[in-house]
């Protein structure tokens, strides 16, 4: 969504009486319906480069470890997606990513219902990751407690090839190849990757294949058209499920016994096409159009016991889900002046659609478990979102700038039940949600190399199809009585940078939510949800980058977060409970959140050698709404070493990385509110990875 021709639309000029300071290059980031210099934007924004790192990140979670406010957890379970949360939003998700907006090469990776995943993004082909936190996330619509955007690298110049192989502990290995190049008329980048692993835990073997193609075609003198195509295939990824505390302490590499009994596993296949057209008309006007379409097929074998499927309203123990999705966005941008001050206006409309065929089957045939059995659920679910938005940036005075916008989102859910029996009535229905989310931010430049900003906004989060699937009272039908959660967000921030590359950023934030969504009960492997009243997420972020002469750099990121329920609410705890039997008191921490999070990294480079040391520390994590159990906090040390050799044909790089160098036992991720108290997913012990990469020079 970055618009090159809007790169300077939110620049804050320095005061005329101050001497000029040679600032670092402008980093342009996507911001709602336009683009802005990351330093000038009245928002917390982080940009993580991927393309030229000495030791490539194995996945997106590893790449963003130093972003404040963002908690990314690789689950060591490839049957489930990476866990992402920003300032406490999305922390309680047990399936994929929710509460955040995700984009890959400007194409939404979050569906209209708010559910998303980034499994199809290939870090090997990536150029950068942008992370937006705070009120301005509301410019992206539903479920935008934060925004993560991933971008593939563009092709440029004569053809260049890259080959990479990495091997690590527990049978992990990956092989990848790419070719890119082009000129002003046509640029291309094609990449393919296969990764395999036996898994740290038993019954966690997986294979992933990914393809990605990006083409950029020049249109006339001032236009361009990008084509994006990708395919992701992960067949029969084994799922070891979570462990109880006792099981984890006894053997962190174990799989839950029922995972072996039912051969729990998941297959996912996703194919997607997208196109983005950008055209400038003179210096004042520009047009941007985006369209995309795709399909995602998921088959998942769960560990739902046979007895729990005896109920005539049970959906069985095998999920068969086919999702067809697509949409588009049309945007107009105007740049001019009002009162001799630069003004940029952006307005547009976006439409996103999602059609699911959700079927459920028993996970047994006779005495054979872990196979597809009789049909128990068959429904067609659709979601359609229409968003209209307006955004403006205005240089009010020499030192002051204003960025403001509003988005009107209307979302319709419909469900048509195709499995109706005398004991299982029609579950179909419809629900409509609509919300306007305004946001505004004011930026002040006390000096040419410093910014102070204040921003406020409103956001909202509708229930996803997964959360609508089961009613809290146990009756048949979808939970269309759920209301969207609405939030009021504020942020006060400071940014400073030097011409030598040093940088400091700090922010205070608060988000107050009404009608927070939380788990009402877990029965037979199914979760149902309810609105539980008010919640608050508040805290502070700090990040610093310090160059160490010409050979090194030190980075530090720290987050302090308090995320709590502000109202008392009832929940079910007993097996089969349909009437709440326990109260969660106000002040209880929202599960999945951590109070303290720190990342520190020291990089060193001299000649052809490079090395790095990283410390990642995470506080304890509440794992259920009651706050009765917590995963202990941990601190890990990771080490990197690399060397490169340059020849006339290209560059050969060799690298090694030791994760968890001091071999600590720790809980890498948690399954919030797991009905059998299997909350814990242990992280791996000391692990060595080694790899080589070949980058050819242009002929």
For residue 588, what is the DSSP state?
Answer: P
Residue 75 scores a pLDDT above 80: no
> Are the CB atoms for 169 and 111 separated by under 8 Å?
no
Task: Place 604 in a pLDDT band, splitting at 50, 70 and 90.
Answer: very high
* Cα gap 538→516, rounded to integer Å: 15
* Residue whose tokens read 């697509």: 326
Give kind and range of the element (H or E) at residue 247. Answer: helix 245-250
* Cα gap 349→289, rounded to integer Å: 10
pLDDT, mean over the chain = 88
List the domains of the chain with CATH numbers.
Answer: 4-372+393-696 (2.40.170.20)
pLDDT for 115: 86
Strand order in the sheet with 101-104: 44-49, 126-133, 146-152, 101-104, 107-108
SS (H, E, C) 477-543: CCCCCCCCEEEEEEEEEEEEECCCCCEEEEEEEEEEEECCEEEEEEECCEEEEEECCCEEEEEEEEE
Please tell me whether residue 72 adopts helix, strand or coil conformation.
strand
pLDDT for 54: 72
* Residue whose tokens read 């296969």: 194
Mean pLDDT of the 307-321 span = 88
Beta-bridged to residue 355, according to DSSP, are 324, 382
> Are the CB atoms for 492 and 484 separated by under 8 Å?
no
Burial of 498 (0-12, 13-18, 19+ CB in 10 A): middle
pLDDT for 28: 63
Residue 27 scores a pLDDT above 80: no
What would you measure as the largest C-alpha separation in the chain, in angstroms? 84
Q: What pLDDT, in 10s, does the model give residues 261-290? A: 999 999 999 999 999 999 999 889 999 999
pLDDT for 578: 66
Residue 584 scores a pLDDT above 70: yes
> Are the CB atoms for 47 and 76 separated by under 8 Å?
no
Please tell me whether residue 136 adopts helix, strand or coil conformation.
helix
Mean pLDDT of the 532-561 span = 94
pTM (2 decimals)?
0.91
Handedness of CA 565, 94, 325, 6 (dihedral sign): positive
Top-confidence residue, 588 or 479:
588
Q: What pLDDT, in 10s, does the model give residues 501-523? A: 899 999 999 999 999 988 877 66
* Residue whose tokens read 């071999």: 663
pLDDT for 43: 93
* Residue whose tokens read 């502990």: 169
CB neighbours of residue 283 within 10 Å: 10
Residue 8 scores a pLDDT above 50: no
């Amino acid at each position: 969504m970055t618009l090159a021709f809007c790169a300077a639309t939110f620049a804050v000029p320095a005061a005329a009486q101050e001497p000029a300071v040679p600032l670092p290059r402008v980093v342009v980031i996507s911001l709602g319906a336009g683009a802005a210099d990351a330093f000038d934007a009245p928002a917390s924004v982080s940009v993580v480069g991927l393309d030229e790192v000495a030791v490539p990140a194995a996945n997106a979670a590893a790449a963003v470890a130093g972003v404040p406010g963002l908690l990314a957890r690789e689950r060591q379970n490839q049957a489930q997606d990476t866990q992402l949360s920003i300032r406490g939003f999305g922390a309680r998700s047990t399936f994929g990513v929710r509460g955040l907006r995700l984009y890959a090469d400007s194409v939404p990776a979050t569906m209209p219902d708010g559910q998303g995943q980034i499994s199809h993004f290939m870090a090997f082909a990536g150029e950068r990751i942008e992370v937006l936190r705070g009120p301005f996330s509301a410019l992206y619509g539903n479920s935008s407690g934060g925004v993560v955007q991933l971008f593939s690298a563009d092709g440029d110049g004569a053809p260049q090839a890259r080959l990479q192989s990495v091997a690590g502990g527990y049978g992990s290995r990956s092989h990848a190849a790419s070719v890119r190049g082009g000129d002003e008329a046509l640029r291309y980048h094609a990449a393919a990757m296969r990764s395999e692993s036996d898994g740290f835990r038993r019954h966690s073997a997986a294979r992933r294949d990914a393809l990605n193609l990006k083409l950029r075609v020049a249109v006339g003198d001032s236009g361009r058209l990008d084509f994006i195509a990708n395919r992701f295939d992960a067949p029969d990824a084994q799922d070891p499920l979570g462990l109880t505390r006792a099981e984890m302490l006894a053997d962190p590499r174990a799989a839950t016994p029922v995972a072996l009994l039912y051969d729990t596993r998941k297959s996912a296949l996703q194919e997607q096409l997208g196109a983005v057209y950008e055209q400038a008309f003179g210096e004042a006007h520009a047009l941007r159009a985006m369209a995309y379409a795709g399909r995602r097929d998921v088959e998942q074998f769960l560990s739902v016991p046979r007895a729990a499927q005896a109920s005539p309203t049970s959906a069985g123990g095998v999920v068969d889900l086919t999702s067809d999705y697509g949409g588009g966005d049309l945007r107009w941008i105007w740049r001019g002046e009002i009162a001799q001050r630069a003004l940029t206006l952006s307005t547009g409309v976006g439409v996103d659609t999602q059609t699911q065929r959700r079927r459920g089957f028993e996970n047994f045939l006779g005495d054979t478990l872990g196979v597809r059995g009789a049909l128990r659920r068959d429904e067609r679910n659709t979601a359609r979102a229409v968003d209209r938005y307006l955004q403006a940036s205005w240089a009010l005075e020499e030192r002051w700038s204003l960025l403001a916008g509003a988005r009107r989102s209307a979302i319709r859910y419909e469900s048509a039940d195709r499995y109706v029996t005398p004991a299982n009535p029609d579950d179909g229905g419809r629900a409509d949600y609509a919300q306007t989310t305004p946001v505004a931010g004011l930026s002040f430049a006390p000096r040419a190399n410093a910014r102070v900003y204040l921003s406020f906004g409103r956001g909202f989060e509708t229930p996803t199809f997964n959360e609508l699937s089961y009613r809290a009272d146990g009756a048949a039908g979808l939970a269309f009585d759920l209301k969207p959660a609405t939030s009021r967000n504020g942020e006060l921030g400071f940014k400073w940078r030097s011409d030598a590359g040093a940088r400091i950023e700090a922010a205070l934030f608060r988000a107050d939510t009404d009608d927070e969504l939380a788990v009402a009960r877990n029965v037979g492997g199914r979760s149902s949800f309810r609105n539980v009243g008010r919640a608050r997420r508040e805290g502070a972020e700090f990040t610093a980058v310090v160059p160490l002469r010409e050979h090194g750099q030190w980075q530090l990121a720290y987050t302090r977060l308090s995320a709590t329920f502000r109202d008392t609410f009832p929940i079910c705890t007993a097996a089969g409970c349909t009437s709440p039997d326990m109260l969660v008191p106000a002040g209880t921490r929202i599960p999945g959140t951590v109070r303290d999070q720190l990342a520190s990294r020291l990089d060193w480079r001299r000649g052809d050698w490079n090395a790095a040391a990283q410390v990642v520390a995470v506080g304890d994590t509440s794992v259920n709404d009651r706050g009765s159990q917590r995963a202990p906090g941990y601190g890990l040390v990771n080490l990197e070493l690399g060397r490169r050799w340059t020849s006339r044909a290209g560059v050969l790089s060799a690298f090694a990385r030791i994760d968890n160098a001091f071999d600590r036992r720790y809980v890498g991720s948690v399954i919030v509110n797991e009905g059998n108290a299997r909350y814990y997913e242990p992280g791996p012990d000391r692990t060595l990875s080694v790899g080589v990469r070949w980058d050819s020079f242009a002929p």
